[in-house]
Amino acid sequence: MYHPSVYDNLKVVLEGAVYDLDFSGEIEIINRKDLMDQAIIERNYSIDFVVSAIGEAMKGTISLTSNLEDLAMEKLNDNPEGAGSKLSCVIETPVYEIETDCKQLQSILKKWGSGDLKGDIQQKLTYIYGQPRHVFTNTISIQLQKPVSEEEPERISSVLEELIASIKEMNEYFKGYKK
């Protein structure tokens, strides 16, 4: 009988948590990807969404990733404790004053620096060549350091709640901002 991997089981939990929020009207799913990279044997499931109260000004993404090393550890060691998948988040937001805004956004993200939410945070700014440079797109990546295991599926909901809270707090910061 086929035994699903930790990744397969966590993907179901992630999908259920995100779709519950979509059905309740808190968020609106705008895209999802279920990818398999056969060159490096990596699976990735991601869901893009907007917070309904905010709209399309900011976008969030939550992703679950598992690679060959993760699968081998799980299958060859017969489901060892600690087998899991990597969880990451992305927030896309506009930025108007690079130094001021990025510093404030980093302050908002400080809760991602400890406990189960501890992650590596990176802000990457871009703009479209030929367009006025008064608005930049800030792509904030948060790679959680601790993998998610089957024994703690509630962590996915906690991460998702914190991702939405971070987006809402960033939106509050930008409310009334002169553009």
Q: Label residue 178 by pLDDT band (50, 70, 90).
A: low
Residue ranges of alpha helices (H) inside 5-134 are 6-24, 68-76, 98-108
Q: How confident is the model at residue 170 (pLDDT cuts 50, 70, 90)?
A: very high
Q: Is the pTM of this model over 0.95?
A: no
Average pLDDT, the chain: 91
Among the listed residues 89, 18, 32, the one whose alpha carbon sits nearest the alpha carbon of residue 58: 89
Give the pLDDT of residue 72.
Answer: 83
Given a contact cutoff of 8 angstroms between Cβ atoms, the answer to whether 32 and 19 are in contact is no
* Interatomic CA distance for residues 75 and 125, integer angstroms: 40
